[in-house]
Structure 1
Amino acid sequence: MQGAPVIAVPLAERLVHSYLAYDPGISPRDGGLPGLQVLKDIVSSINMYAIIAVVGSLCVSLIVWAWGHHSGGHQTEANGKKGAMVSCGVAIGLGAANGLVVGLTALGELVQ
């Protein structure tokens, strides 16, 4: 019995070609739902309040750091330093949040 030759295709390759190659064609669209501008305003306001809170926590941490240093309280000084470093890290994160999301979204669009 002679028929067409059977070519063995690895399972992973069959999965990629049969299931994973489907493109749903979904991408972010500005203005798709009502209230999008309101949501952007809310998130921007939350970001602003968070930045104001970080400024306050940085001021308190620096005061605790100085007080601990001048009073000889090494634990208090260390806690002030930790608070200042955490406040600076949070400030960097809040300032970079939009850029990080945009950059990672652009990176995610490259995946195929």
Structure 2
Amino acid sequence: MIDIDPNSSGLPGIEQLRTIVGAVMTVGLILSVLALIISAIIWAYGSNSSNPHLAGKGKTGLLISCGAAIICGGSVALINFFWGVGQQV
């Protein structure tokens, strides 16, 4: 039987890589908030100007920005979940 676990100290620069990944997650969440605000403005403008195409694009952007925030925020939990599933195979 082979038992191999991830080694967090096996390569130099692992801590810096964790810091970089955390920073990228933060940037992703900030950009998701910005996209949500812009999409809400586009939706409101499209609704008030009787432009259903623009209002639809705003709604779509709102859903996409929420999905991006879910993926950025839950990425660690998703990877850990699938890591656990893979360990049971």
Q: CA RMSD in A?
A: 1.0
Separation of aligned partners in 1, 2:67 and 2:39: 13
> When the two structures are superposed, what TM-score results if normalisation uses the length of structure 1?
0.76
In terms of Rg, which structure is larger?
Answer: 1
Where relative contact order (Cα < 8 A, 6+ residues apart) is larger, the structure is 2
Aligned to 1:86: 64
Pairwise CA distance, 1:24: 5.0
Separation of aligned partners in 1, 2:74 and 2:50: 37
Aligned to 1:61: 39
> When the two structures are superposed, what TM-score results if normalisation uses the length of structure 2?
0.94
* Amino acid of the structure 1 residue aligned with 2:72: L
Task: Show CA shifts across 1:79-111 (max 9, x none).
Answer: 000000000111111111000001100110011
Aligned to 1:39: 17
Aligned residues: 89
SS of structure 2 residue aligned to 1:41: helix
Which stretches in structure 2 are left out of the alignment for 5+ residues? none
Aligned to 2:83: 105
- Higher helix proportion (structure 1 or 2): 2
